């Protein structure tokens, strides 16, 4: 029986009976991870690696959304890694889903260069030094580029991907220039871009972007994803993403 520790809660993901262990007061996954898993599920994948996996939410959701034979998640924080492994066990996903504890910057050596046809990432959004942070706090590590940078993530993703493998990431629109420039530098050609807004008329607060290692130069802009209606209710598309429709 999977151990649930004091201060933890088990939450229903409303998808195929899947559940996840989270801290009541620690870092918890957000809508960005759910949107990323839905965005990446379109790829026909044999082997998927999720960088900065945190609670393991993206690998767990992709286990239901794809037919990938192997799905790995890489997380540097040991305590969070342990929780993610117990979530995998709770859902009976071993050995198809594996959580690995390690540094993103060493991911190719740890997980295998060119070993994946899909790499996903929901990385820290804030540049290092943007505000006062505790470098040992798990929330700070998840939100700020303390242990890895945007460039680290894209560089190592290029090393991990097989030729023509696909890269999927969620980030902030304010970093879009940095994202596209880094993808081009490391030979991951941007292919699809979708802005995400909390409601119609509001500025986008997330961007979903995909690329292909060694792909041709052509970027397709997808329709904007609106999360909430004017009355605060979820849009039909968001309900579908969360399997509530």
Q: Which segments within the chain are labelled E, that is strand?
A: 8-12, 19-23, 47-51, 70-75, 97-101, 116-121, 161-171, 188-199, 206-213, 220-221, 225-228
pLDDT tens digit sequence for 165-179: 999 999 999 999 999
The Cα 65–Cα 169 span in angstroms is 17
Q: Please, which residues have CB within 8 angstroms of residue 13's CB and are 6 or more apart in sequence?
A: 19, 20, 57, 60, 61
**Beta partners for 188?**
213
Domains and CATH numbers, the chain: 8-241 (3.40.50.150)
Q: Give the tens place of pLDDT for each residue, 122-163.
A: 998 767 655 545 554 655 555 645 567 999 999 999 999 999
Residue with tokens 């023509």: 164
Spatial distance between the Cα atoms of 27 and 57, rounded to a whole number of angstroms: 12
Low-confidence stretches of the chain (pLDDT < 50) are: 132, 136, 144
* Dist CA 10 CA 23 (whole Å): 9
Confidence at residue 138, expressed as pLDDT on a 0 to 100 scale: 58
Q: What is the pTM of this model?
A: 0.93
């Amino acid at each position: 029986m999977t151990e649930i520790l004091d201060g933890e809660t088990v939450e229903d993901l409303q998808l195929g009976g899947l559940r996840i262990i989270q801290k009541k007061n620690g870092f918890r996954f957000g809508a960005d991870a759910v949107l990323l898993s839905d965005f990446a599920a379109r790829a026909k994948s044999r082997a998927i690696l999720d960088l900065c996996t945190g609670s393991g939410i993206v690998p767990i959701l992709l286990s239901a959304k794809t037919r990938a034979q192997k799905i790995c998640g890489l997380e540097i924080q040991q305590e969070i890694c342990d929780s993610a492994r117990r979530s995998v066990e709770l859902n009976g996903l071993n050995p198809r889903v594996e959580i690995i504890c390690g540094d993103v910057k060493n991911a190719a050596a740890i997980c295998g260069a060119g070993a994946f046809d899909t790499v996903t990432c929901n990385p820290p959004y804030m540049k290092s030094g943007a505000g006062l942070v505790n470098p040992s706090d798990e929330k700070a590590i998840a939100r700020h580029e303390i242990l890895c940078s945007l460039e680290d993530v894209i560089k190592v993703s290029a090393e991990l991907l097989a030729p023509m493998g696909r890269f999927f990431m969620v980030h902030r629109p304010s970093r879009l220039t940095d994202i596209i420039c880094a993808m081009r530098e490391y030979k991951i050609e941007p292919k699809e871009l979708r802005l995400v807004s909390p409601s119609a008329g509001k500025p986008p607060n997330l961007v979903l972007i995909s690329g292909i290692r060694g792909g041709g130069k052509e970027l397709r802009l997808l329709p904007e994803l609106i999360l909430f209606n004017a009355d605060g209710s979820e849009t039909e598309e968001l309900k579908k993403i969360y399997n509530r429709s």
